[in-house]
Amino acid sequence: MKRFAKLIQQLELSNKTNDKIAALVDYFNHADDQDKIWVIALFTGKKPKRPIKSALLKYWAIDITQTPEWLFSESYSNVGDLSETIALLLPPAENTSDFSLHKWIEDLHDLEGKDDETKKVFILNAWNHLETQERFIFNKLISGNFRIGVSNKMLVNALAKQSSLDSAQIMHSIMGKWNPYEITFHELINGTHVNTDNSWPYPFCLAYALEQEPEKLVDLSEWQAEWKWDGIRGQIVKRNGELFIWSRGEELVTDQFPELHFLIDVLPDGVVLDGEILALQDKQVLSFSTLQQRLNRKTINKKQLDDAPIGFFVYDILEYETNDFREHPLSERRAILEQLFENLDESAVILSPVINCKNWEELATLRQTSRSINSEGIMLKKLSSHYHSGRKRGDWWKWKINPYTVDAVMIYAQKGSGRRANFFTDYTFAVRDGENLVTIAKAYSGLTDKEIKEVNSFVTRNAIEKFGPVRTVKPELVFEIAFEGIAESKRHKAGLALRFPRILRWRKDKKAAEINTLEDLRQLLESTFING
């Protein structure tokens, strides 16, 4: 438990991915094999069943410390975490213990079905044997999630580094079905419980943004135009009777999207599809913010399935009849796709339509209507193109519509990282709401180095307050912020959130009095809401 407590502390202290991976590698190099299994289980959301309600933990802590309940609540609101509040409130432990992580988990498991008094005796005794940080973790094992910023991808990278195994293979292994009580660490990362041959994905083919006039691409007839959808890119793999869904970030997300599981019965074996996971209703694409309700969740409930149904728009086929088709021209791959989908009338999986236009002008006009169908523009793919690995200039272009913009004033500044660590480069912007300013976005990029230096000197001279690394500054500098979408948000004070905000330009010609209002943004929200 002490070793695991140290790992948690290290993971919490750093914001740098490399430090976190190093801490994980160090842990996996030295920890007990049975403990490692549990660490992987905990970090990937395979929580042991809760033997005790958190409310009981709270009452027992209140009981033994004789803390009034209101004072417990005051403490809890200062600390912000129930497990930690309890760990800090308890008197120092009178004993120490060297039990391993898995021993604690097994002992907790054995409490299942016991009466409350037995549970209480066990918990109080455990608290009296653990240091504060260990107690915190122990409480977390019972009552909560570890939110320490370790993604599946990061965990897999650390395991790959430590074991010298392929990361896609490990990803499949740990995302597969396994029981932490039964499997060994060796079996788990080698994937003996799954057939990793079945799951491996291809690298995605990516497009550059079109910076020139499309007419420069000359002959429209050599190009395939499609809508550019605003969801998350995904790859569907069907081999030997098994179905896998990979995200762009090379995470296996199969379990997150049950709507697509029917494909296991529909697709032939040896097929890999490239496409976009989208929020979809009656074959109409919904806004990205709807899809967001479904992302990065370890479990999905019925309400989420009802509120944000998803589907898959198919772009391309990479493997067919177990053969790698990436070297075949797009026109040929498209023909296979159309044949494959000819008899498939499913509302959740749709072949992304090809746009047929006579000339560039017609296509340009059509592109202006992208937003009305929640598309962010047009993709241009050369009919003769192969399916490249990664980004390659020339064959695929994304021709996005111009973003929305808003004029906003800077109110907070924070120092950047890496090369820009000495400069204030991360800004928070606000629009006017009556007499007040209300925060609407945080943006990092979009200024030249010279402009950054200028803003930096403004921040240094006009800082009003200091909160750790953040400075409140005089609301004076106006910037034009570009963004891709707008959605209602309960988490933000403004009641709305901008998607992918970035600085378009510094409006030195504008005064803070001339910026946009919250009302302007609300109107925009309403107009997009009707379409979405």
Residues designated as active site: 228
Nearest alpha carbon to residue 236 among 206, 255, 263: 263
Residues 6+ apart with CB under 8 A from 162: 24, 25, 28, 29
Cα-trace Rg, the chain: 27
Contact 232, 280 (CB under 8 A): no
Q: Tell the smallest beta-carbon distance from residue 283 to another protein (Å).
A: 44
Entry field: residues in the chain = 532
Q: Counting contacts by CB under 8 A, is residue 284 touching another protein?
A: no
Residues 6+ apart with CB under 8 A from 469: 414, 415
Binding mask 307-336 for another protein (x = CB under 8 A): ------------------------------
Nearest alpha carbon to residue 218 among 375, 445, 394, 70: 394
Distance CA 397, CA 224 (A): 11
Nearest alpha carbon to residue 440 among 469, 465, 415, 475: 475
Distance CA 426, CA 310 (A): 34
Q: Tell the smallest beta-carbon distance from residue 312 to another protein (Å).
A: 37
DSSP string, 457-505: HHHHHHEEEEETTEEEE-TT-EEEEEESEEEE-SSSTTSEEEES-EEEE
Q: Counting contacts by CB under 8 A, is residue 75 touching another protein?
A: yes
Q: Tell the smallest beta-carbon distance from residue 116 to another protein (Å).
A: 25
SS3 call for 162: helix
Work out which of 34, 44, 54, 67 binds another protein, going by CB under 8 A.
67
Q: Tell the smallest beta-carbon distance from residue 320 to another protein (Å).
A: 49
Of 62 and 366, which CB lies nearer to another protein in the complex structure? Answer: 62
Angle formed by the axes of helices 33-43 and 101-110, nearest 10°: 70
Q: Tell the smallest beta-carbon distance from residue 418 to another protein (Å).
A: 11
Of 79 and 266, which CB lies nearer to another protein in the complex structure? Answer: 79
Pairing of the two strands 390-391 and 205-206: parallel
Distance CA 383, CA 61 (A): 68
Q: Tell the smallest beta-carbon distance from residue 13 to another protein (Å).
A: 6
Of 12 and 520, which CB lies nearer to another protein in the complex structure? Answer: 12
Token pair for 330: 């797009």
Q: Counting contacts by CB under 8 A, is residue 418 touching another protein?
A: no
For 424, phi then psi, to 5°, come to -75, 110
Of 15 and 29, which CB lies nearer to another protein in the complex structure? Answer: 15
Stretch binding another protein (CB under 8 A), from 70-78, 268-276, 336-344, 435-443: 70-78
Binding mask 19-48 for another protein (x = CB under 8 A): ------------------------------
Q: Tell the smallest beta-carbon distance from residue 250 to another protein (Å).
A: 27
- Residue with structure tokens 């140290």? 6
Restricted to residues 447-506, the positions that interact with another protein (CB under 8 A) are 465-466, 468-469
Contact 475, 410 (CB under 8 A): yes
Restricted to residues 2-21, the positions that interact with another protein (CB under 8 A) are 12-15
Partners of 141 in the β-ladder: none
Q: Tell the smallest beta-carbon distance from residue 68 to another protein (Å).
A: 7
Of 136 and 246, which CB lies nearer to another protein in the complex structure? Answer: 136
Binding mask 83-122 for another protein (x = CB under 8 A): -xx--xx---------------------------------
Contact 118, 53 (CB under 8 A): no
How many other CB atoms are there within 10 angstroms of residue 510's CB atom? 15
Of 352 and 414, which CB lies nearer to another protein in the complex structure? Answer: 414
Stretch binding another protein (CB under 8 A), from 162-170, 332-340, 414-422, 480-488: 414-422
Distance CA 5, CA 131 (A): 10
Q: Note the helical H segments in 66-164.
A: 69-79, 82-89, 101-110, 116-127, 132-143, 152-163
Of 422 and 436, which CB lies nearer to another protein in the complex structure? Answer: 422
Distance CA 164, CA 158 (A): 10
Q: How many chain residues bind another protein (CB under 8 A)? A: 27
Q: Tell the smallest beta-carbon distance from residue 298 to another protein (Å).
A: 22
Q: Is the dihedral of CA 471, 475, 478, 482 positive or negative?
A: positive
Restricted to residues 134-153, the positions that interact with another protein (CB under 8 A) are 136
Stretch binding another protein (CB under 8 A), from 63-71, 197-205, 223-231, 334-342: 63-71
Stretch binding another protein (CB under 8 A), from 61-69, 256-264, 268-276, 290-298: 61-69
Nearest alpha carbon to residue 61 among 147, 148, 146, 132: 132
Work out which of 26, 81, 255, 484 binds another protein, going by CB under 8 A.
81
Restricted to residues 421-440, the positions that interact with another protein (CB under 8 A) are 421-422
Pairing of the two strands 502-506 and 496-499: unpaired
Work out which of 64, 79, 266, 351 binds another protein, going by CB under 8 A.
79
Q: Tell the smallest beta-carbon distance from residue 15 to another protein (Å).
A: 7
Of 137 and 220, which CB lies nearer to another protein in the complex structure? Answer: 137
Of 75 and 198, which CB lies nearer to another protein in the complex structure? Answer: 75
Of 67 and 292, which CB lies nearer to another protein in the complex structure? Answer: 67
Alpha-carbon distances, residue 497 vs 208, 442, 483, 487 (angstroms): 27, 10, 10, 5
Work out which of 50, 55, 71, 445 binds another protein, going by CB under 8 A.
71
Q: Which residues contribute to the site for another protein (CB under 8 A)?
A: 12-15, 65, 67-68, 70-71, 74-75, 78-81, 84-85, 88-89, 136, 415, 421-422, 465-466, 468-469
